[in-house]
Structure 1
Amino acid sequence: MLRITLIRSLTVVPVLFGISVISFLVIRMIPGDVISSIMGQDFGDPAVEAEMRRYFGLDMPVHEQFFTWFGDLLRGDLGTSMRTGQPVLDEILQRLPSTLLLAISALLVAVLLSIPLGILSATRRNGPLDAVARVVSLIGLSVPNFWLGILLVYVFSVSLGWLPSQGASEGGGLLDNVRYLVLPAVTLGASLAAINMRMTRSSMLEVLNQDYVRTARAKGLAERVIMVRHALRNSLIPVVTVLGIELGALLGGTVIVEQVFAWPGLGTMVIRGISQRDYPVVQGTLLFLAFFYVLVNYLVDLVYTYLDPRLRSGH
């Protein structure tokens, strides 16, 4: 187990290095830079522009800019925003709670919808409920997040006036916070619920066909006991694995939903950084999100290895 843990830990390093290189280069492939974003394309004083490029280090060759940034990164410094002058890490930590709240809420929505529906669909295979659940999951997989978000805003905010359409609660109570959170969480959790429902259904069907389930029925155990103690516990292992991976992906996947609902999270910060060519903000945020995603995948991989002895033995 220790050997496997060390091997998986070493694989994280090249992944993060590759992500740092890609994030550094891709943002610089976009036409323009922070100087032209601040001053406009028609600014007429080349001397001031050259001085600002020197101040931000943009006059250096790209490889020198990368090694300077990467050296600071190894010391835990993600850089300073060219727009606000604030450390990028501080800005990330300010917005991280909002993104985590949205991601965890969306995951909770997905769990509450998908697991019961997946179990019912598997236990009533080929029945009317199974057919309806599969159609609903197919719709959930097919509908884009941004379109679903706009539709929910139109129905529940514009037409009915039940929920706020944008923003987050500032200093309100629990109920007020929940009202702002409902629409973005449902929008983000819908596609996850569809994926997990199908995963739960297929996993449950596989377990129900195992010999130990048939043996339990032959011994006369109640169907409820068979489902809870035998089928459900074993069928949820792959589902829990997928949920853990989705939590890591959700942090980066909230970008579009945050834009639709003007949610003050990391996604909004990345979009703002791209539009303003704020290189340190974009590079630092993308690397942070990638690190979190890789970390969650790494932890899920270790947990799954611990739960399944066959992976530890190499079979």
Structure 2
Amino acid sequence: MMRAHPWVAFAVRRAGRLVVSLLVLVTASFAMIHLVPGDPVRAALGTTADPQLVAARRHALGLDQPLLTQYWNFISGLLRFRLGESISVDLPVSQIISTRLPATLQIAVPAFVLIMALAIPVGMTAAVLTREGRRRRGELAFTAVTGVFGAVPEFLLAVGLVALFAVAFPLLPVASRGGPSSYVLPILSLTLIPAAALSRIVRVEALRVLGEDYMRTARAKRLPARLVYLRHALPNLLTSSLTLGGLLFTSLIAGTVLIENVFAWPGLGTSIVQAITQKDYPLVQGVVLVYGVAALLLTFLVDLAVAVADPHSTIRGS
């Protein structure tokens, strides 16, 4: 069956790699608590905590059991969507994550959509306008603007947006999640830098596509520009754009940690910083696991989307 359907074989291979990667991620997240020097329970409760309280907490967390037993309990708990108990707030880690995850997705997903919606048309338009050495000033302006945005750290950009739109011109709220206006600055902070970087890459790739023989043939047939660029050029940009977009989204998830703390956004980013500060290792472990699983699943979905967009080269090269 797989020989007759190479796309199925490709999907099965990618799914197998996903399973192996997930197993490695789960094992690494489990080992994280045991590789931290000292006793995580003692570190969370403080050096002056009652030894009986420390022992009771270790027993409640299962940290007094053999390592293999702890690993099996961890795996079986994951299969039931149980990530253990938080040391600092005495709540299930899964409950904390389910409460905080929507807030993170509410800024990460719109930011990703905006990145793709801005970077691809801007990069392609810049390539069309500046191909074959045309409009040198426009090329320099595009390179300068995107270069400046691409070089600015996300944290600094977020602070600059706060200073401009919340302090100098008090148009938008600074912190917390309230009405629709409270989403603007966090989403912009996550969008501008990746969109600038991706648009530069899209422009370079579009210039390559526009120089191909089939593009010259399409222009020689005097086809309308809309057909030339949208029907012939754009589909050939989707493969690289999807791949880069998937990589950007995985970095975007990590970028939410900084942005959420700048804007006091009640998402996973603020949770993991607070957990690290309070030495709440089970919560850190759970949040890291969620971030890792999200990145691996997104990479898997991007691979499938690229295979659909360009099945021959992708499946043959896998």
TM-score by length of 2: 0.87
1:12 and 2:26 correspond: no
1:148 to 145, 157, 174: 157
Give the aligned residue type for 1:22: A
1:62 shift after superposition: 5.0
Q: Give the conservation status (yes or no) of the 8 Å contact 1:145–1:187.
A: yes
Tell me the secondary structure at the aligned position of residue 193 of structure 2: helix
1:60 shift after superposition: 4.0
CA 229–81 in structure 1, closer or farther in 2 if over 3 Å, else same: same
- List runs of 5+ in structure 1 lacking aligned partners: 170-175
Give the aligned residue type for 1:19: L
* CA–CA distance in structure 2, aligned partners of residues 57 and 184 of structure 1: 39
CA 31–199 in structure 1, closer or farther in 2 if over 3 Å, else same: farther
Deviations 1:132-183 (A, max 9, x none): 11112222221111111111111111111111111111xxxxxx32x11111
Tell me the secondary structure at the aligned position of residue 58 of structure 1: coil
Question: Paired residue for 1:195?
Answer: 197
Give the aligned residue type for 1:99: T
Q: Give the conservation status (yes or no) of the 8 Å contact 1:306–1:312.
A: no
Question: Paired residue for 2:48?
Answer: 42
Question: Paired residue for 2:30?
Answer: 24
Aligned ranges for residues 196-275 of structure 1 at < 5 Å?
Answer: 196-275=198-277
Q: Give the conservation status (yes or no) of the 8 Å contact 1:141–1:195.
A: yes
* CA–CA distance in structure 2, aligned partners of residues 145 and 268 of structure 1: 16
Give the aligned residue type for 2:36: M
Q: Give the conservation status (yes or no) of the 8 Å contact 1:20–1:283.
A: no
* CA–CA distance in structure 1, aligned partners of residues 315 and 58 of structure 2: 53
Comparing 296-305 with 240-249, which one deviates more in the overlay? 240-249
CA 48–240 in structure 1, closer or farther in 2 if over 3 Å, else same: closer
Give the aligned residue type for 1:23: S
Question: Paired residue for 2:140?
Answer: 131
Question: Paired residue for 1:173?
Answer: none
1:63 shift after superposition: 5.2
Deviations 1:204-261 (A, max 9, x none): 1111111111112111223333222222232233113322343344233311111111
Aligned ranges for residues 103-142 of structure 1 at < 5 Å?
Answer: 103-125=108-130, 126=133, 127-142=136-151
1:23 shift after superposition: 2.3
Identity of aligned residues (%): 35
* CA–CA distance in structure 2, aligned partners of residues 52 and 313 of structure 1: 54
Deviations 1:107-152 (A, max 9, x none): 2332343223212321222521221111122222211111111111
Comparing 115-124 with 141-150, which one deviates more in the overlay? 115-124
Comparing 194-203 with 243-252, which one deviates more in the overlay? 243-252
Tell me the secondary structure at the aligned position of residue 254 of structure 1: helix
* CA–CA distance in structure 1, aligned partners of residues 298 and 36 of structure 2: 30
Give the aligned residue type for 2:40: D
Tell me the secondary structure at the aligned position of residue 168 of structure 1: coil
Q: Give the conservation status (yes or no) of the 8 Å contact 1:32–1:277.
A: no
* CA–CA distance in structure 1, aligned partners of residues 152 and 42 of structure 2: 39
Comparing 262-271 with 14-23, which one deviates more in the overlay? 14-23
* CA–CA distance in structure 2, aligned partners of residues 240 and 193 of structure 1: 13
Q: Give the conservation status (yes or no) of the 8 Å contact 2:146–2:196.
A: yes
Aligned length: 306
CA 3–107 in structure 1, closer or farther in 2 if over 3 Å, else same: same
Comparing 97-106 with 51-60, which one deviates more in the overlay? 51-60
CA 97–81 in structure 1, closer or farther in 2 if over 3 Å, else same: same
